[in-house]
Amino acid sequence: MCSRSLWDTGWRCRQTLAERFTRSFIVFESQHLLLVGRAFRVQDRPVTIAVTEDFTPVRQGIRRLLLEFIGVALLLFGALLVCQRLIVRRGLAPLEEVRRELPRLACGEIPQLSITVPDEVRPLVAELNRLLALLEQRQRRARRALGNLAHALKTPLTVLTQLAEHPLSPDDTGGWEHLRQQIRQMQMLTERELKRARIAGGGVPGRRVLLEREIADLVETLHRIYRHRDLRFEIRVPPGSGFPGDRDDLLELLGNLLDNACQWTTRTVRLTVGAGSEDLWLRVEDDGSGCSPEQLALLRRRGVQLDESHAGHGLGLAIAGDIVEQYGGRLKLGRSEALGGFLAEATLPTERPPVT
């Protein structure tokens, strides 16, 4: 028995329904129907009750809802991309400023990069600024050293120029001796600069500066330079001690102080390293004649900014003083109580000061 709407069709439940509650989707005459039915027996006769409903409006509604959902999702996704782009551009705007500053930095228009950058890259920019400041300080020290060298060579070159214009007679013994003295002076200055270059060597950026290792290499270099003398080095360095700065600065500082001691010592040069809670001190002593009270007073009055061309214990103290001052420390000059010769003690703070 079927409803009147099915009288003119050939639709039958047959296998569509089993003896249980059934719910399924069927296609009947191009219609998508939802069928709900139940098969059971009444007085030993099979009875099937099936009800169908056109599911096309529901499918169209679901399709419309999906399309609307996709449209809204695409719109939100586009808005999210735009917001993300704006956030990234705003967050990286300081980096763009750094990128624009790099050509100006290369042209010398600005001394350092701006530190108004995100927290993630601020340490990198600060380290770059510190390296730039160190390079500038080393350049100033190199210019000062070249100026001192030029000043020291000025007198010998003047003498040679005068001799070229007015040659000496073979009987002028004093003139020839003066000429030889000026030539020896030029040779000494040249050898000193070459020696300083050998002592400084080459550094490795970013490497931790271990005093024990660097001092051992430095002493070995000084042994080779002064191989004609039987020098004895007494090195007292606590194991694991580090230098709160750059390797090149350490080698230039200790190189000048130790080289100065090697020139004036009788045989023994002592280097003592000590560390406190807030500072590190490097003490260089020798058993030479030392400086007289008048010379020490002169050194103290003029500070450590002595011309490098001067002989005596003032040799290299200008550079050593610049390095110590750069790190916010102090350089003490005097007489060694233990060895009786010259004493130079550099005290440096263990915390690296900001470089300006």
Low-confidence winner among 42-56, 145-159, 223-237, 270-284 (lowest mean pLDDT): 145-159
Q: Which of 206, 271, 204 is nearest to 234 (CA)?
A: 271
Q: Read off the pLDDT of residues 266-320 as tens digits, 9 standing for 90 and up.
A: 999 999 998 877 888 899 999 988 877 777 766 654 434 334 444 444 557 777 8
Q: What is the pLDDT of residue 73?
A: 95
Mean pLDDT over residues 36-64, rounded? 82
State the DSSP string of 56-67. Answer: HHHHHHHHHHHH
Q: What is the pLDDT of residue 356?
A: 45
Q: How far is CA 155 from CA 66, 88, 253, in A?
A: 95, 64, 28
- CA torsion 123-129-130-132 (nearest 10°) is 150
The per-residue pLDDT of the chain, averaged, comes to 77
Percentage of the residues of the chain whose pLDDT score is greater than 70: 81
Q: Distance between CA 231 and CA 167 in Å, rounded?
A: 43
Q: Is 41 helix (H, G, I), strand (E, B) or coil?
A: strand
> From the CA atom positions of the chain, what is the Rg in Å?
45
Q: What is the pLDDT of residue 16?
A: 47
Q: Which of 331, 251, 212 is nearest to 283 (CA)?
A: 331
Is a pLDDT exceeding 50 seen at residue 45? Answer: yes
Residue 325 class from Cβ within 10 Å (0-12 exposed, 13-18 middle, 19+ buried)? Answer: middle
Homologous superfamily in CATH for domain 201-356: Histidine kinase-like ATPase, C-terminal domain (3.30.565.10)
Query: In the 3-class helix/strand/coil scheme, how is 151-165 assigned residue by residue?
Result: HHHHHHHHHHHHHHH
Q: Read off the pLDDT of residues 263-280 as tens digits, 9 standing for 90 and up.
A: 889 999 999 998 877 888
Domain boundaries, the chain: 4-54, 123-200, 201-356
Q: Read off the pLDDT of residues 119-159 as tens digits, 9 standing for 90 and up.
A: 777 888 888 888 888 778 777 777 777 776 777 677 778 77
Is a pLDDT exceeding 50 seen at residue 53? Answer: yes
Alpha helices in 226-286 (DSSP H): 247-264
Q: What is the pLDDT of residue 52?
A: 79
- Please, what is the Cα angle at 346 between 345 and 352, to 5 degrees? 160
Contact 202, 172 (CB under 8 A): no
Is a pLDDT exceeding 50 seen at residue 98? Answer: yes
Q: Where are the beta strands (DSSP E) in the chain?
A: 21-28, 31-42, 45-54, 232-236, 268-275, 279-286, 330-335, 342-349
Q: How far is CA 292 from CA 120, 296, 297, in A?
A: 56, 6, 9
